[in-house]
């Protein structure tokens, strides 16, 4: 090789020819502004075009370091310097490869004085036997170093990844541990709060126990004081008994006369009341029995009519006859509505009667208030009698000291009697107030039950309207289902006719088989198309039938839900009425208990008066008369209170009976409506109801 090539510039490559020969074009890979050395060969002068061609990529990659590699392969000789590379054609690689390591320190390829050095270096390389001789160990050592560095980097990357993975696991474990620690801290805080609350409760219990102990000590002291007072009272009562033995006979006579007078007055007062109450109760019971008989008769008629309808519907298959029967059922329902209106009228009359009873109760309350005024007058009389007794006793003290002691004992006894009378009066007033409150509560409950019955009737009417609309929808669905069934049958008949026509055409085609294959194929395609159409029509009709069945199931479910809601509403109303009746019975028992308490108090007063009569032989007749008057007044008041309590109990019983009758009426009406609805559903679709 006698010529060298000098490549100059960054945008393009300019080639110059020297006398020793011409430059052969080399392939440049990943060019850069650095130096590029190529191999040359003596050939004929060739004009090189300036067009760029696509370059083939080598199967290896350049490294950022300054490496010198020369490899004899199908890609030729590669010279790399500072990220630049040149690729030589395989034909020129057989001639030799220049070493670029010795010339990498040259300043620039444009220097003319250094061209002989390039030629000398090329001749030296050619005399040394090519690049493969002295640079083989360097290339192998470079490959081993590169391989070692890659292995080192791969190991380092793997170790870093493993360390990162391990660090991530450690961080996750640390997070889990922190979460557990926080949960345990929260749990400990909750437990500490609970323990504090428990400690507070224990402290409160201790304080309560201390208070109970103190109250027990106080009660013990009070009991001891009461025992001492009782002993003193027993001594005083013994003295009073000794003093009042003389007054027994007179007091017994006076008491017997007073009791007779009280009984006569009681009979006169309450005979008229009992008669009026019995008459009104008899009227109410007669009206209730008449209404019950009417309802039972109406129910029997409805049941017989329904049985006849069942028998008729069992033997009827024509929908027109069914519609006629349904119209007859509608007429029966209208008659039942009229009967219900009549029942409502009877219920209104019962309500009016209940209002009259309420007015009577109000009059009784007024009488109770008048009795309270009389009790106040009696209190004044008792106070006056006590004053007179005190005056008489003060006069008797001057005569006899023993009489003074007896008069003081009598005064204490009279004061106790007055206190007992006052307590009895207060209890009677409280009982009357409670009875009045309970009567007002009963009135409110009766109104609430009436409103609930009205709302139930309105809801039942709405439900009947909804059920009738559902039945209309059901009839429409049935009619559409029947029309679709007829259409399906028509389509099936048409399809059968088409199939018969296809079969006849197939037989004709079989006879025409000898004529050719193409018409047979066209006919077979037509047959396939007809079969596809037939199958699509059948699928559409099956889908329509399934949709109709789903609609029917939904309607049946809606009917079932409506019936369940009706049953739930009826049950709730019945339970409310039962609770009201139970409350009334509880109030009646309370009134009876109060009556028994009043009777016990009256008996205790009688016993005390008897003891006073036995020990009152040495008392003045004025004192005896005052005691008789007070005892008679107390007995008359007790009798009046008993009569009022009985009247209140009777009124409560009547209101309870009215409550029990009103839910029976509502239950009868709603039961008939529900029975009619169920019968309609069973007649239309017996399998679903």
Q: Is the pLDDT of residue 492 over 50?
A: yes
Arithmetic mean of pLDDT, 451-462 = 74
Dihedral pair phi/psi, residue 585, rounded to 5°: -65, -40
Of 33 and 359, which is predicted with more confidence? 359
Give the count of alpha carbons within 13 A of 402, CB side only: 7
Reported as a single tens digit per residue, the pLDDT across 413-426 is: 667 766 776 776 78
Q: Are 118 and 4 in contact (CB under 8 A)?
A: yes
**Under 8 Å CB-to-CB from 343, ≥6 apart: which residues?**
291, 294, 295, 665, 668, 669
- The answer, as to whether pTM is greater than 0.75, is no
pLDDT of residue 464: 72
Q: What are residue 21's DSSP bridge partners?
A: 18
Q: Is the pLDDT of residue 78 over 50?
A: no
Q: Are 636 and 371 in contact (CB under 8 A)?
A: no
Lowest mean pLDDT among 42-51, 573-582, 595-604: 42-51
Secondary element (H or E) of residue 510: helix 401-511
Quickly state the pLDDT bin for 409 (edges 50, 70, 90): confident
- Mean pLDDT, the chain, rounded, equals 64
pLDDT of residue 377: 77
CA dihedral defined by 333, 336, 337, 339, rounded to 10 degrees? 170
Of 475 and 677, which is predicted with more confidence? 475
pLDDT of residue 152: 92
Quickly state the pLDDT bin for 318 (edges 50, 70, 90): low
Reported as a single tens digit per residue, the pLDDT across 236-295 is: 777 777 766 777 677 677 777 877 777 787 677 667 777 777 787 778 778 777 877 887
Q: Are 84 and 35 in contact (CB under 8 A)?
A: yes
pLDDT of residue 157: 93
Arithmetic mean of pLDDT, 34-58 = 46
pLDDT of residue 488: 65
Percent of the chain scoring above 70 in pLDDT: 42
Secondary element (H or E) of residue 29: strand 27-29
Across the beta sheet with 84-87, the strand order is 27-29, 84-87, 78-81
Dihedral pair phi/psi, residue 21, rounded to 5°: 165, -175
Of 191 and 312, which is predicted with more confidence? 191
pLDDT of residue 580: 59
Task: Please give the structure tokens belonging to residue 29.
Answer: 């890979």
Reported as a single tens digit per residue, the pLDDT across 602-624 is: 566 556 556 655 554 444 555 55
Burial class of residue 609 (count of CB atoms within 10 Å of its CB; 0-12, 13-18, 19+): buried
Closest CA to 379 of 641, 642, 629, 644: 629
Q: Cα(first)–Cα(last) distance of the chain, in Å? A: 113
Degrees (nearest 5) of the Cα angle 366, 449, 563? 170
Burial class of residue 472 (count of CB atoms within 10 Å of its CB; 0-12, 13-18, 19+): exposed
Q: Are 471 and 680 in contact (CB under 8 A)?
A: yes
Degrees (nearest 5) of the Cα angle 428, 430, 432? 70
Reported as a single tens digit per residue, the pLDDT across 541-579 is: 566 666 666 765 666 666 566 556 555 655 565 566 556
pLDDT of residue 315: 64
**Under 8 Å CB-to-CB from 398, ≥6 apart: which residues?**
none
- Tokens 């500072």, residue located: 82
Percent of the chain scoring above 90 in pLDDT: 2
Q: Is the pLDDT of residue 153 over 70?
A: yes
Q: Are 484 and 544 in contact (CB under 8 A)?
A: yes
Q: Are 340 and 669 in contact (CB under 8 A)?
A: yes
Q: Is the pLDDT of residue 636 over 70?
A: no
d(CA 446, CA 456): 15
d(CA 3, CA 234): 160
Q: Is the pLDDT of residue 430 over 70?
A: yes
Burial 246-281 (b: 16+ CB within 10 A, else e): ebbebbeebbeebeeebeeebeeebeebeeebeeeb
pLDDT of residue 93: 40
Closest CA to 88 of 123, 127, 131: 131
Domain residue spans of the chain? 1-132, 244-684
Arithmetic mean of pLDDT, 26-45 = 42
Arithmetic mean of pLDDT, 433-453 = 75
pLDDT of residue 15: 41
Q: Is the pLDDT of residue 229 over 70?
A: yes
């Amino acid at each position: 090789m006698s010529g060298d090539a000098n490549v100059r510039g960054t945008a393009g490559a300019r080639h110059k020819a020297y006398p020793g020969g011409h430059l052969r074009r080399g392939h440049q890979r990943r060019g850069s502004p650095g130096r590029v050395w190529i191999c040359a060969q003596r050939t004929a002068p060739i004009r090189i075009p300036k067009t760029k061609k696509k370059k083939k990529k080598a199967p290896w990659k350049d490294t950022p370091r300054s490496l010198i590699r020369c490899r004899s392969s199908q890609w030729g000789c590669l010279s790399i310097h500072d990220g630049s590379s040149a690729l030589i054609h395989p034909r020129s690689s057989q001639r030799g490869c220049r070493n670029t390591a010795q010339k990498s320190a040259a300043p620039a390829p444009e220097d003319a004085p250094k061209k002989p050095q390039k030629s000398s270096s090329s001749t030296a390389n050619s005399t040394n036997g090519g690049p493969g001789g002295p640079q083989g160990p360097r290339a192998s050592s470079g490959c081993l170093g590169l391989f070692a560095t890659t292995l080192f980097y791969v190991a380092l990357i793997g170790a870093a990844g493993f360390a990162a993975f391990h660090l991530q696991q450690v961080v996750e474990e640390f997070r889990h541990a922190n979460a557990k620690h926080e949960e345990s801290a929260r749990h400990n805080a909750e437990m500490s709060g609970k323990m504090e609350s428990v400690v507070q409760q224990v402290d409160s219990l201790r304080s309560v126990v201390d208070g109970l102990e103190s109250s027990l000590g106080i009660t013990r002291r009070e009991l001891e004081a009461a025992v001492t007072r009782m002993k003193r009272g027993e001594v005083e009562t013994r003295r009073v008994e000794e003093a009042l033995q003389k007054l027994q006979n007179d007091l017994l006579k006076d008491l017997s006369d007073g009791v007779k007078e009280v009984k006569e007055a009681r009979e006169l007062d309450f005979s008229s009341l009992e008669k009026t109450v019995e008459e009104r109760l008899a009227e109410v019971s007669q009206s209730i029995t008449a209404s019950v008989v009417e309802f039972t008769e109406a129910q029997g008629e409805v049941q017989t009519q329904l049985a006849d309808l069942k028998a008729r519907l069992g033997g009827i298959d024509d929908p027109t006859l069914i519609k006629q029967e349904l119209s007859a059922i509608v007429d029966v329902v209208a008659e039942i509505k009229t009967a219900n209106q009549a029942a409502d009228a009877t219920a209104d009359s019962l309500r009016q009667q209940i209002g009259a009873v309420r007015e009577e109760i109000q009059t009784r309350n007024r009488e109770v208030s008048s009795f309270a005024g009389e009790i106040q007058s009696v209190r004044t009389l008792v106070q006056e009698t006590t004053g007179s007794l005190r005056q008489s006793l003060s006069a008797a003290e001057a005569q006899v000291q023993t009489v003074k002691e007896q008069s003081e004992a009598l005064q204490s006894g009279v004061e106790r009697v007055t206190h007992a009378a006052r307590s009895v009066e207060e209890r009677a007033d409280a009982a009357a107030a409670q009875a009045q409150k309970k009567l007002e509560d009963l009135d409110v409950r009766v109104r609430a039950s009436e409103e609930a019955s009205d709302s139930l009737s309105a809801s039942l009417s709405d439900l009947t309207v909804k059920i009738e609309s559902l039945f209309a929808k059901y009839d429409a669905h049935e009619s559409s289902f029947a029309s679709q069934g007829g259409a399906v049958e028509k389509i099936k008949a048409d399809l059968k006719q088409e199939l018969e026509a296809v079969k006849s055409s197939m037989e004709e085609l079989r006879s025409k088989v000898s004529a050719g294959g193409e018409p047979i194929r066209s006919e077979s395609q037509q047959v396939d198309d007809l079969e596809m159409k037939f199958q699509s029509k059948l699928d559409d009709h099956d889908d329509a039938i399934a949709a109709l069945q789903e609609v029917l199931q939904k309607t049946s479910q809606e009917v079932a839900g409506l019936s369940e809601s009706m049953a739930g509403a009826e049950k709730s109303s019945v339970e409310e009425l039962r609770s009201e009746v139970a409350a009334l019975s509880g109030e009646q028992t309370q009134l009876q208990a109060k009556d028994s308490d009043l009777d016990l108090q009256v008996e205790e007063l009688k016993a005390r008066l008897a003891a006073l009569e036995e020990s009152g032989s040495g008392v003045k007749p004025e004192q005896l008369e005052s005691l008789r008057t007070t005892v008679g007044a107390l007995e008359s008041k007790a009798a009046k209170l008993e009569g009022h309590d009985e009247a209140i109990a009777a009124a409560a019983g009547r209101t309870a009976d009215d409550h029990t009758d009103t839910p029976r009426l509502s239950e009868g009406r709603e039961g008939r409506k529900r029975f009619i609805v169920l019968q309609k559903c069973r007649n239309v679709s017996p399998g679903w109801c």
